[in-house]
Structure 1
Amino acid sequence: MALKVIPFKHQYAERFRDLNLQWIEKHFVVEPKDSNLLESCEENIIKPGGHIFFAKYDDVIVGCFAFIKLNDKAYELGKMSVDAKYQGLQIGQKLLDFAINFAKNEGWQKLVLYSSTRLNTALHIYRKFGFKEVPMDADSQYKRSDIKMERSLEQI
């Protein structure tokens, strides 16, 4: 498989939006926070210190994820999506592996993510990569989110 993980480029902003809308609309409802992040990803993710990466498979952008800055040492891993036509090729796992290694190299202390207990496959993969369930925030960002997970990046 000729898969590369590449950083955000402005020309891929619409693909970032479309990949995420694909899974959100399939399983849930698009919420105002989704629209805000997806329609203005450079303004609302990258400019405040976050990052967006893409999975490029044989010259096609087939997946993505974002790091949303919480503080200098913690980032939310969010907006992870793989095109339905390319699922089953372990692209999500390769993105997750890349994300964890990137975060470690940046010297971050932890990654946080919000998900739904309805997404069994995603939760299985998160656990496989060392994410642990932690108490949910009182004021959840999304109605669909009913589970919060963290992954420590501290070197032991």
Structure 2
Amino acid sequence: MSRPARLFLDRAPSPIGELLIVTDETETLRALDFHDHEHRLHRLLKTHYGPLRPNVGAAPARIRDAVAAYFAGEFHALNSIAWATNGTTFQHAVWTALTQIPAGATITYSELARRAGRPLAIRAAGHANGSNPLSIVAPCHRVIGMDGALTGYGGGVERKRWLLAHEKAL
């Protein structure tokens, strides 16, 4: 992925906590996380973009509107958000696979590894899932344990439970 020239950080309300939305100068989504995980967001931005730090700036209305529509029950709205983020080829395969899990469905980590093209790389898929900078847009909350357990979620297991219930997956 190319390195953007500038990053912008906006904040938006949601029923489960304020969202942090990072976009670039082309109005492409680069990251999305929850306010109480801002330290993780900045760590991921440093990993992916080096010294480039976001300035305060409004996210494009189409991104804000799509996120609001998702929380209003229009789950497909997130599919309209163009995103790009730095990461390894395998991370991109995992994050892309996440975007293909329909709302209301869940998959296991082993299935995620298979969909990312490396069926034996279950732990690596889990790690890539855990370092997903596109919370909700690349819906890592839809990945569950083999036994159906709501295993870890960067935004917290209670948010994962809420998101899955919102999508009627629980």
- TM-score after normalising by structure 2: 0.31
Higher strand proportion (structure 1 or 2):
1
- TM-score after normalising by structure 1: 0.32
